[in-house]
Amino acid sequence: MNFGGCIVYSRTLAEVESATVQLLKIIEAKRQSTDCISMGFDIEWRPIFKRGEVPRKAAVMQICVDSAYCFVMHIFHSGIPPLLQSLLEDDTLVKVGVCIANDAKKILYDYNVHIRVLEDLSGLANRKLGEYAKKWSLSSLAEMLTSKQLEKPNNIRMGNWEADELSTTQVKYAATDAYASWYLYQVLQSFPDATETLHETKKSDS
């Protein structure tokens, strides 16, 4: 699975503000046709390799709201400007991802920003597929729902996300993760809840 749309990479405060304005315009256009707008959301940070070392700050934030654009924001350099904070705290936008609550906690701890309205794809998948407390990864969900692999090479995943400027490979990796979250949410939302399906089956059997 790869993101094939336009990736907007921003690293300075001015660039992140400009990217947020562009993102808001896309969201406002989508509001004309739907009440519920979902945002594929993910973050990256530089890993630590020594026991007892203080965890690094979230360095990259990626957001995707459709298949056309994905926004990769290098917040390690820019911080989170007020306009982006307002977007993240907007409770009319559903932020979706695997283990997204942990990402939200990290953003709160690192940047004092409360990301509101979260939907964990693993929990949603269990409701839709009738699984019991299965812990899905983004990769396993992608393979199960689309028969496509979401590659997670360690040299990129565990790389230096605090670099002065991200490499093309890093930007593509980050964008694809956010896109996968957004896309898989759309797929799962199209399924009925497993309990509803079971109820309908019992009705037809009777």
pLDDT single digits (tens) 111-137:
999 999 999 999 999 998 887 778 899
Query: Does a structural domain hold residue 1?
Result: no
Please name the residue that has the structure tokens 């360690």: 154
Tell me the CA distances in angstroms from 16 to 40, 84, 89, 94, 187, one per residue in order: 17, 8, 16, 21, 29
Range of the domain at 124: 6-196
Residue 150 within any structural domain of the chain? yes
pLDDT of 203 > 60? The answer is no
Q: With respect to residue 206, please indicate whether it lies within any of the assigned structural domains.
A: no
What integer pLDDT is reported at residue 113 of this predicted model?
97
In the prediction, which pLDDT does 180 show?
A: 97
Which DSSP state fits 130?
Answer: T
201 located within any domain: no
State yes or no: pLDDT of 13 exceeds 80.
yes
Residue 205 lies in a domain: no
Residue 134 belongs to what H/E stretch? none
Q: 110, 57 in Cβ contact below 8 A? A: yes
Mean pLDDT, the chain, as a whole number? 91
CATH, residue 71: 3.30.420.10
Q: Report residue 195's pLDDT band, with 50, 70 and 90 as the boundaries.
A: low
The model's pLDDT over 145-158, given as tens digits with 9 standing for 90+, comes to 999 998 888 889 99
- Which pLDDT score, from 0 to 100, does residue 196 have? 54
- The reply to whether 203 falls in a domain is no
pLDDT in tens, 40-91: 999 999 998 888 888 899 999 999 999 999 999 999 999 999 999 999 999 9
Domain count, the chain: 1
Q: 48-52, 100-104, 195-199: which has the minimum mean pLDDT?
A: 195-199
